[in-house]
A and B are shown apart, each in its own frame.
Chain A
Amino acid sequence: MPEQIPAAHERKAISLFQGDIVRRALLDSLKKLDPRVQVRNPVMFVVEICSVITTVTWLIQAFGGKPLGGGSEPAWYTFVIAVWLWLTVIFANMAEAFAEGRGRAQADTLRSMRKDTVAQMRDGSSKAAAELTRGDIVVVPAGELIPGDGTVIEGIATVDESAITGESAPVIRESGGDRSAVTGGTRVTSDRIEVEITQEPGHSFLDRMIALVEGAERRKTPNEVALNILLAALTLIFMIVVVTLRPFGLFAGTSISETTLIALLVALIPTTIGALLSAIGIAGMDRLVRRNVLALSGRAVEASGDVDVLLLDKTGTITIGNRLASEFIPMPGVAESELAEVAQLASLADETPEGRSIVVLAKQYGIREHDMASIQAEFVPFTAQTRMSGVDYDGHQLRKGAGDSIVDMVIREGGAAPPELQQQLDRIGREGGTPLAVSRDTQIVGVVYLKDTIKEGMKARFDQLRAMGIKTVMVTGDNRLTAAKIAEESGVDDFLSEATPERKLALIREQQADGRLVAMTGDGTNDAPALAQADVGVAMNTGTQAAREAGNMVDLDSNPTKLIEIVEVGKQLLITRGALTTFSIANDVAKYFAILPAVFIGTYAVGGAGSGSKGPLHVLNVMGLGSPRSAIVSAIIFNAIVIPLLIPLSLRGVRYRPIGASALLRRNLLIYGLGGIIAPFIGIKLIDLIVHNLLGA
């Protein structure tokens, strides 16, 4: 019996405040106080240095010494500031630890699947799964775990992939075609397959997945680097402001203690975004994982927010994918039943839904079912080059396929296409259907009308994408007319008809040359070059190993519509960064109004700075804060606790609305800009009410 492996769906349920995650996060946030960790985040590193200096000052004061840098602040004040500065750093660490914690819980689940199995080699020997290398060929019978990632080279089997995808229904994996990839750690539930291993030891899909969700391979994305530089520059500006404030104060007869200057510095530098920045990045990856998408780099997530062009496969994405035969249209001189019979025979070996639907439709014409084996027909499979399939039966070549391919073949063989054919092909194409021409030797006997159904809600989805500024291009093997009809019905912006892998690649290159970022999904081996070329290439997990390696994301659900969600996650990630940066900077206004009047309350007072009377600048205490010390302490407390308060937002992400860039900017400026100016006035005032009472001063 297979072990009880938690399915991926359960991963979605991992809550932010699950007990052990919280414990681990708390512990980690203390471990991260290590300056070697902190130095990677310039803003928080400055806060940590400030915490150390304040703590040293307090220790000196506690042992009866004079505080560093003068001033007459009591020891308890220095202590309170020191504590809250340390808390600021710890809160920042906690944000990161929480984000990592969720990923780590998922990694643990995955790790439990990585069993040390013994692989059975084709030559009969056996080898430990961990030692398998590229090129090894293993045999996996029903009931066994597949020992490593690979490609099925022989056989067909059902495989339970629920451990990775969360989908409980087993999937079919077979040699050849686009469903040949198998993942190590999944289980064969029926039949027996031979698998050629495509991974090196320790680099399996599962290993990569674990590393990714754990954040072990996390590197700063380009935009994160740029934002960090901006934050460092702002930190530098405020250091200049604070350092020069001491001589300014002295000139005005006011000695500002070093603890207060440090408090001012920490309040002004963008600690909020500095603390949450890496958590936002990790959470972005995490949100994708919860949608069952594995991004192979943070860069890819970021890029997905920038996507300008989306290439969508028509089949399965825009249409339901099962084009069903609905009508037989014979050519002049051919009976409808004759056409039905030829079409049926040509489709006998065709296991695609289209092929089966022809057989089903033919039954209605009273054509009895033939059995391939009993009639000794030779199957001619579909290839991308011939673009037709059929059987050689009883000395006849029976073929069905794309109109132009059949016509070409017939003409090549010395036949001719009836003039009615083109009319019918065009008509069906115009109506959004797919015509299949059917031929017997050099005679075209008729056309099968395949109807394609567009998925519900696609038009709304495309409108949404258009509002996001993303152009959608439908990619289809259909001819121009058919493609145009479906494009029009579904509301897609553009289409690429009669697509071949080369044309797909060329289209991507062309868009990129114009400076556009292209995203696409794909599964087949011949999609691999295009997937590699696209800026965001989402490979379907059901696809071939080549496709999975070419893309920079893997969709475990193999759902082509997922691309839209991926783009949203990318955008959310960037918006959250921008919004919290704006919020962080806007906060400074209130902090100035809290701290500066407190610092300069006695400056230029009528009786002199030391007289205890208030100077002219006390009128700037617009919040009516209790006392200078409670004002400064309240500002620092606000600065610290805003970080944990915003952790949920940074992990969840600011919601993205497809309302156009200008409206979105207006909205976010209002919420995070204006809100960022107003919120701390209220927050600091409320904290001061408590602090001032506690201090009793």
Chain B
Amino acid sequence: MTFAGWLTIVLFVGMLSALAFPLGTYMAKVYSGERVFLTPVFGWPERFIYKLLRVDSRREQDWKAYARSLLIFSLAGWLLLYLVLRTQDAFFVPHSVNPQGFESAPWNVTFNTVSSFVTNTNWQFYSGETTMSYLSQMIGLTVQNWLSAGVGIVVAVALVRGIVSRSGKSLGNFWQDIVRTILYVLAPISIIGAIVLVSQGVIANFSNYLTVHTVTGLTQTIAMGPTASQLSIKMLGTNGGGFFNVNSAHPFENPTGFTNFFEMLLVLIIPAALVFMFGRMTGNRRQGYAIYGTMMLMFLGAVVVAYVAEAHGSPAQHAAGLHTHAIAGSTGGNLEGKEQRFGIAGSALFDVVTTVTSCGAVNSAIESFTGIGGAVPFANLSASEVIFGGVGTGLYSILLYVLLAVFIGGLMVGRTPEWLGKKLEAREIKLAGLGILITPLAALFATALAVATKGGRASISELGKGPQGFSESFYAYLSQANNNGSAFAGYTGFIQPNAGNAGSHGVTFADVLGGLVMLFARYGPILFALAVAGALAGKRITPVGLGTMRTDNPTFAVLLIGVVILVGALTFFPALLLGPVVQGLTGHLY
């Protein structure tokens, strides 16, 4: 551990909070239809888009109408992306946007990839530089990076509207919300982000792959492409799907320590801002602070554990008598699978930032983390995306947990539970319960199928049997069920013998199961969250009294952490035992 390492962490948390707060206020204004400083810039294109889409943006939608629009929008996006990816080598595609002449990946891999990008998961069985044409990356994957992020955000906004609405059943208008999200929230930050990244050395071009001669006399192919624009939204929209296979460890995706810091800010800025937005929209900012505090506490816990564990080094290093403390030029610790330019703190922090959210980008190999350090991403995923979580996803997921916490805690103060003045009754509990149930259901059943069948075991290497194989399988489906997208490596769904799509084949079992898990675990909770919003909308509001359980103080934050950890930990505890815990408890290699 180094002073610089801790300083990075403290600075990061400070800057995040300082930036997220005003952004939250800004977003609350955007979604309340108030005029913001960007209205003069985007007002005109906004109206133009409505005209183009032929939608009446002022028509109020109840939860069913809202959900219908959302599903139609997502289905259209899914079909379009599938079409783009499957025709990337078609005759009408110009060579300039596919300079390497990549064929399309097979249907099963494409099914997985499309489902992955539409659900904001960005799980990647493929590797970008050997599979995707520039056109596929730009008008296919990048577009979904924007749209899937937008869908997550509008669901959170709709849920908040339902929670605070005092009359009527309306949750707003989906088309208006998605257009405003893209224009007023994602576009400005993403454009600035891309420019900053380019300034640091992230590439943005259409050139052919370069062939260079290395100092040792060998030749090496260096992949090129329009990276910066996709990278910026990849982080900002908590997508996480890398342009290149090694994701944010690649020098063209994450060239410096500064970009590393900057990219982490991009990942958390919207999930954090949404919490402040929630507080402002409820009319009591403290409601937002309580949830922010809850999230931040769990986040810091994860960061500290990961940083300390990685800085301490692995048991193997200690057994070999190697130095693990920091020396000039090296941060020390367990540097296996990490980039020296990020160091231990930059890697541990990045790992936590991208696994608490649904981002799933990686700048180091999670598989090479120490036992305890590697358990942190597992634990983060087990918490089901409520520690900031994905854009929108994080807020609506934790609000479902808040509902459960309020129900149990509310009883303990001697009133039938109420949340922000609204009584929680059978309908809300049923919907929230089911919404929370889906992710563990999908993750555990898919893992069980994968480890119990030959088709599933085909994805783990012969070496990876035992707890390592279990960890890989479990992480793969836990990650896809959480729409996270980070991988423990080793779990295969696509085999490219010639480093290209020619002659490649997908592992149908893993591709299809994973794809279904992502779709189910994305749209299931979304529908339940919208239904909860519908159930709460227009409920009578009881004024707060001394006897009302408050949801804006530290006591409630503790209760909320308890519920999140108990439900998350209790659900995944047995599975965690058989994977990372066994591995952490033994020096035996499997």
Q: Which residue of B lies closest to A571 (CB)?
A: B414
B573 (CB) vs chain A CBs: closest residue: A592
Q: How far is B426's CA from A227's CA once the two chains are assembled, in angstroms? A: 7
**Chain B residues whose CB sits within 8 angstroms of the CB of A596 once the complex forms:** 573-574, 577
Of chain B, the residue at the smallest CB distance from A567 is B414
A671's nearest neighbour on chain B, judged by CB, is B412
| CB-based nearest B residue for A593 | B573
Nearest chain A residue, comparing its CB with the CB of B575: A248
Nearest opposing residue in chain A for B563, CB measure: A585
Alpha-carbon gap, A466 to B547, bound state (A): 9
**B451 in contact with A248 (CB, 8 Å):** yes
Give chain A residues whose Cβ lies under 8 Å from the Cβ of B444.
240-241, 244
Q: Give the residues in chain B near A250, CB-CB below 8 Å.
A: 451-452
Residues of B within 8 A of A305 (CB): 414-416
B452 & A251 in contact (Cβ 8 Å cutoff)? yes
Residue from A515, A516, A582 within 8 A of B408 (CB atoms)? A582
Chain B residues near A247 (CB-CB < 8 A) = 448-449, 451-452
Q: Are A515 and B412 in contact (CB under 8 A)?
A: no
The distance from the CB of B461 to the nearest CB of chain A, in whole angstroms, is 15
**A303 to B414, alpha carbons, bound, how many Å?**
11
- Measured between beta carbons, the chain A residues less than 8 angstroms from B585 are 616-617, 619
A240 to B430, CA, bound (A): 17
Find chain A residues with CB under 8 A from B470 CB: 248, 251-252
In whole angstroms, how far apart are the Cα atoms of A589 and B76 in the complex? 45
Shortest Cβ gap from A269 to chain B (Å):
11
- If A577-B411, A578-B409 touch, whether A469 touches B581 (CB-CB below 8 Å) is no
> Does any Cβ of A come within 8 Å of B35's Cβ?
no
The answer to whether A468 and B542 touch across the interface, beta carbons within 8 angstroms, is no
Q: Report if A575-B570 is in contact (Cβ < 8 Å); known contacts: A468-B547, A665-B409.
A: no
**Closest chain B residue to A673, Cβ basis:** B562
B582 touches A603 (CB 8 A): yes
The stretch of B12-20, B90-98, B508-516, B553-561 in contact with A is B553-561
Q: Answer whether residue B404 sits at the interface, using C-beta atoms and an 8 A cutoff.
A: yes
Q: Contact check: which of A248, A574, A581, A662 meets B578 at CB < 8 Å?
A: A248
Among the stretches B100-108, B144-152, B434-442, the one at the interface with A is B434-442
* Contact partners of A471 in chain B: CB under 8 A: 545
B421 contacts A515, C-beta separation under 8 Å: yes
Are the CB atoms of B408 and A578 closer together than 8 Å?
Answer: yes
- Asked if B548 and A222 make an inter-chain contact with CB atoms under 8 angstroms apart, the answer reads no
Instruction: Indicate if A470 sits at the interface (CB-CB under 8 A).
Output: yes
- Smallest CB gap from B416: residue in A: A223
A303 to B425, CA, bound (A): 13
A233 lies within 8 A of B437 (CB): yes
A229-B430, A233-B434, A252-B467 known; A672+B412 contact, CB < 8 A: yes
Max chain B Cβ within 10 angstroms of own Cβ: one of A238, A469, A668: A469
Q: B542 contacts A660, CB within 8 Å?
A: no
CB–CB A229/B429 < 8 A: yes
With A578-B408, A596-B577 known to touch, is A469 a contact of B546 (CB < 8 Å)?
A: yes
Residue A645 CB within 8 A of the other chain: no
The answer on a CB contact under 8 Å between B445 and A226 is no
Known: A247-B452, A466-B546, A661-B547. A515 touches B588 (CB 8 A): no
Contact B426–A515 (Cβ < 8 Å):
no
CB distance from B556 to the nearest CB of A (A): 8
User: Cβ of A466: which chain B residues have Cβ within 8 Å of it?
Assistant: 546
Chain B window 561-590, contacts with chain A (Cβ cutoff 8 Å), 1 for yes, 0 for no: 010001100110111011001100110101
Q: When A and B form their complex, what is the total count of cross-chain residue pairs whose Cβ atoms lie within 8 Å?
A: 214
A226 pairs with B429, CB closer than 8 A: yes
Instruction: Give A223 to B417 CA distance when docked, in angstroms.
Output: 9
A604 touches B404 (CB 8 A): no
**In the bound complex, how far is the Cα of B555 from the Cα of A240, in angstroms?**
31
Give the chain B neighbours of A251 by CB distance below 8 A: 451-452, 469-470, 578
- A233–B566 Cα gap in the complex (Å)? 14
In the bound assembly, the distance between CA atoms of A179 and B550 in angstroms comes to: 45
For B407, the closest partner residue in chain A by CB is A230
Contacts of A241 in B (CB 8 A): 440, 444, 570-571, 574
Output the least CB separation between A85 and chain B (Å): 20
Contact B451 A604 (CB under 8 A): no
Q: Is the CB of A664 within 8 A of B543?
A: no
Instruction: Find residues 250-273 in chain B having any chain A CB closer than 8 Å to their own CB.
Output: none
Chain A 609-620 per-residue mask, 1 if CB under 8 angstroms from chain B, else 0: 000000111011
Cβ–Cβ contact A665 & B577, under 8 A:
no
Tell me the interface secondary structure of chain A in the complex.
helix
* B432 → A minimal CB distance (Å): 9
Given A308-B542, A469-B548, the answer on whether A240 and B573 have CB atoms closer than 8 Å is no
Interface contact B412-A579, CB-CB below 8 Å? yes
A260 CB → nearest B CB, Å: 12
Q: Are A665 and B448 in contact (CB under 8 A)?
A: no
- B-contacting residues, A572-626, CB 8 Å: 572, 574-575, 577-579, 581-582, 585-586, 588-589, 592, 596, 600, 603-604, 606, 615-617, 619-620
What is the CB-to-nearest-CB distance from A23 to chain B, in angstroms, rounded to a whole number?
A: 34
Which residue of A is nearest B470, CB measured? Answer: A251
Once A226-B429, A248-B470, A251-B451 are accepted as A-B contacts, the answer to whether A604 and B586 lie under 8 Å apart by CB is yes
CB distance from A434 to the nearest CB of B (A): 32
Q: Counting CB contacts under 8 A, is B540 at the interface?
A: yes
Whether A514 contacts B543 in the complex (CB less than 8 A), given A229-B426, A245-B574, A619-B585, comes out as yes
> Given the complex, which residues of B lie within 8 Å of A662, measured CB to CB?
549-550, 553, 555
User: Do B586 and A616 touch across chains, with their CB atoms under 8 A apart?
Assistant: yes
Fill in one digit per residue for B303-340: 1 if any A CB lies within 8 Å of its CB, else 0: 00000000000000000000000000000000000000
- Contact in complex: B416, A268 (CB < 8 Å): no
Hey, which chain A residues are within 8 Å of B558, CB to CB?
669
Which one of B414, B451, B562, B566 lies within 8 Å of A575 (CB-CB)?
Answer: B414
Query: A204 to B540, alpha carbons, bound, how many Å?
Result: 36
Q: Does A554 contact B (CB under 8 A)?
A: no
Interface membership of B413, Cβ < 8 A: yes
Pick from B447, B469, B540, B555: contact of A665, CB below 8 A: B555
Q: Which residues of B sit under 8 angstroms from A620, Cβ to Cβ?
A: 577, 581
In the complex, residue of chain A having the shortest beta-carbon distance to the beta carbon of B435: A233
Let me know if A506 is at the binding interface, CB within 8 A: no
Q: How far is the CA of A571 from the CA of B548 in the complex (A)?
A: 12
Question: A236 at interface (Cβ–Cβ under 8 A)?
Answer: yes
Give the residue name and chain of the B residue nearest to A661 (CB). B413
B33 interface residue per 8 A CB criterion: no
- Min C-beta distance of A10 to chain B, whole Å: 30
In the bound complex, what is the Cα–Cα distance between A665 and B421 (angstroms)? Answer: 17
B410 x A578 contact (CB < 8 A): yes
Residues of B within 8 A of A665 (CB): 409, 412-413, 549, 555-556, 559
A470 / chain B contacts, CB cutoff of 8 Å: 545, 547
Is A606 in contact with B588, judged by CB distance below 8 angstroms? yes
Question: Do the beta carbons of A604 and B543 come within 8 Å of each other?
Answer: no
Find chain A residues with CB under 8 A from B466 CB.
252, 604
Q: Does A379 contact B (CB under 8 A)?
A: no
Least CB distance from B290 to A in Å reads: 12
Interface string of B444-485 (1 = CB under 8 A from A): 110111011000000000000011011000000000000000
- A688 on the B face (CB < 8 A): no
* Interface status of A555 (Cβ within 8 A of chain B): no
User: What are 16 of the A-B contact pairs (CB < 8 Å)?
Assistant: A227-B407, A229-B426, A230-B404, A230-B407, A237-B437, A243-B448, A248-B575, A250-B452, A303-B416, A308-B547, A578-B411, A588-B570, A603-B578, A604-B586, A616-B588, A666-B555
List the interface of chain B (C-beta within 8 A of A).
Answer: 404, 407-417, 421, 424-426, 428-430, 433-434, 436-437, 440-441, 444-445, 447-449, 451-452, 466-467, 469-470, 540-543, 545-550, 553, 555-556, 558-559, 562, 566-567, 570-571, 573-575, 577-578, 581-582, 585-586, 588, 590
- Additional A-B contact list (16), CB under 8 Å, known A241-B570, A252-B470: A223-B425, A230-B429, A240-B571, A241-B444, A247-B452, A251-B470, A252-B466, A515-B542, A516-B542, A577-B411, A592-B570, A603-B582, A656-B414, A662-B549, A665-B556, A669-B409
Nearest first, the 7 A-B pairs at minimum CB distance are A469-B547, A578-B411, A571-B414, A233-B433, A469-B546, A578-B412, A247-B452
